[in-house]
Amino acid sequence: MFEIFPTSPLRAAARGALRMASCAGLAAVVVAGLAAAPAVAKADQAAFDKTQQEAIGAIVKDYLMQHPEVIRDAMQELDRRQQMAEADAKKANVAKYADLLFNSKRQVVLGNPDGDVTLVEFFDYNCGYCKRAHADMKRLMDEDKGLRVVLKEFPVLGPGSEEAAQIAVVVHEMAPDKYQAFFDELLMSKGEVNGARALAVATDIGLDADAIKARLKEPEIAATINESYALAQALGINGTPTYVMQGDVVVGAVGYDTLKQKIKSVRDCGQATC
């Protein structure tokens, strides 16, 4: 449901290692905590000696061997707290970068430009899940006349994606009224999408290929894509599609029903999760 930025497996491996280390070291942490507790509570008393610490360690080990579910429950609680912390951080960052997320001069706006709810999508033209999710986005825009959709070019799936994104930025600058037709056709192209394919689609909708090529080196083209990269990094986004709404970052092609419910939540309580 999610095309992942190439560096993310390293992050995932590191996270997995951290979880394993946390699990392996849980008993040691418990022992250390128990041993240190008296010293914290009564600073004027000496810490347990080695023999006492070994005795406490044996008691804790025996208990954990008899009740291994304690480690499972502790890891589940650790996961829950980490997820809550990540969700809170994302929510804070959505608020912090709201102006660039929802109102950047460089972004593409589809649907109702004056809509009461904005849905931001980070996408890549070579993302298979973005292609599958495109029908959900189109349906939402067709049915919800108050929906404002913002597109962020986020080419993370190779050089072909980068070339296509650069041409897309030029197309939007040259003919914003034709961008949606370009976007729809290019995103739903079969096979690899690259600069040549993007240029062909641009000429199909009536734009001049030489004029597009002449503008590819303009600083604003790179600035537009770099802005998306910077926002993605700030929000912890490393794959496509990713959707952003008030108060939430939604990862993956979650489907029409989920997006519709989150849009409703924004209207009901001002954020995607009430």
Tens digit of pLDDT for each residue in 223-249?
999 999 999 999 989 999 999 999 899
Cα dist. 147→25, 74, 181, 214, 263 in Å? 49, 42, 19, 35, 8
- pLDDT at res. 46: 56
Residue 248 β-bridge partners: 245
Angle at the Cα of 271 (from 127 to 89), degrees rounded to 5? 70
The structure tokens 């952003």 sit at: 244
- Considering the chain, what is the average pLDDT of its residues? 85
Provide the pLDDT confidence category of residue 3 given band limits of 50, 70 and 90: low
Cα–Cα distance between 243 and 122 in angstroms, integer? 6
**DSSP H/E element including 143:** helix 128-143
Please report, for the chain, the start and end positions of each structural domain, with discontinuous segments joined by +: 3-67, 99-269
Q: 17 pLDDT exceeds 50?
A: no
Provide mean pLDDT across the span 74-83: 86
Report yes or no: 162 and 155 within 8 Å, Cβ to Cβ. Answer: yes
- pLDDT at res. 151: 98
Report yes or no: 143 and 128 within 8 Å, Cβ to Cβ. Answer: no
Report yes or no: 203 and 197 within 8 Å, Cβ to Cβ. Answer: no
The sign of the dihedral angle between the CA atoms of 49, 55, 61, 66 is negative
7 or 72: whose pLDDT is higher? 72
| Of residues 156, 151, 157, 191, the one with CA closest to residue 171 | 151
Most distant pair of Cα atoms in the chain: their distance = 84
Query: 207: which 2 tokens?
Result: 């734009």
CATH architecture of 99-269: 3-Layer(aba) Sandwich (3.40)
Q: 97 pLDDT exceeds 60?
A: yes
